[in-house]
Amino acid sequence: MSASPAPRSTEDRYVVVVNHEEQYSVWFADRALPAGWTATGAQGTRQECLDHIEQVWTDLTPRSVRASR
């Protein structure tokens, strides 16, 4: 059985990422980005990143759905 990873600190650094559907998320700054996601340039604590996402992601509809309207 493998050991569980150590709990992350609330002060860990994160980056804001976006996918091809213009959906946003946060990702650990010290990890490689998952496939299909691109860093936006915004970074900080998890809360700072979430606050940034709240300001910029005003339409939660995926890009492909918006384009088909």
Give dist(CA 29, CA 55) in Å, integer.
Answer: 20
Tell me whether residue 39 is in a domain.
yes
Q: pLDDT tens digits, residue range 31-57?
A: 999 999 999 999 999 999 999 999 999
Tell me whether residue 65 is in a domain.
no
Tell me whether residue 30 is in a domain.
yes
Does the pTM exceed 0.85? no
Structural domain boundaries enclosing 44: 14-57
Give dist(CA 37, CA 50) in Å, integer.
Answer: 16
Tell me whether residue 40 is in a domain.
yes
Tell me whether residue 44 is in a domain.
yes
| 4 pLDDT more than 90 | no
Q: What is the CATH number of the domain that holds 38?
A: 3.90.820.10
